[in-house]
Amino acid sequence: MQWNQLATQLFGSSHGIQADDDFLHGDVVFEGQPITVVGTTNHAPIGVALALAQARVILDTIARHPKRPILLFIDTQGQQLRRRDETLGINRAMAHLGMCIDLARRRGHQVIGLVYDQALSGGFITSGLIADGCYALPEAEIRVMRIPAMARVTKLSEETLTALSESNPVFAPGVGNYVAMGGVRALWQGDLQAALRDALADTPVKDTRAQDGAARGGRKLSASVVERVLAAA
pLDDT at 136: 96
The answer to whether 104 and 72 have CB atoms below 8 angstroms apart is: no
CA-based nearest residue to 73, from 132, 142, 119, 125: 119
Query: Whole-number mean pLDDT of the chain?
Result: 91
Say whether pLDDT at 165 is over 70: yes
pLDDT at 149: 82
Say whether pLDDT at 203 is over 80: no
pLDDT band at 63 (very low <50, low <70, confident <90, very high): very high
Q: How many CB atoms lie within 10 A of CB 177?
A: 19
DSSP string, 125-160: HTTTTTSSEEEE-TT-EEESS-HHHHHHHH---HHH
| Bridge partners, 26 (sequence order) | 37
pTM (predicted TM-score): 0.90
Say whether pLDDT at 52 is over 90: yes
The answer to whether 208 and 183 have CB atoms below 8 angstroms apart is: no
What is the C-alpha separation between 44 and 47, in angstroms, rounded?
A: 9
What is the C-alpha separation between 198 and 194, in angstroms, rounded?
A: 6
Better-scored residue on pLDDT, 137 or 87? 137
pLDDT tens-place string over residues 100-149: 999 999 999 999 999 999 998 888 988 999 999 999 999 999 887 778 88
Phi, psi of 204 (to 5 degrees): -75, 150
Better-scored residue on pLDDT, 26 or 223? 26
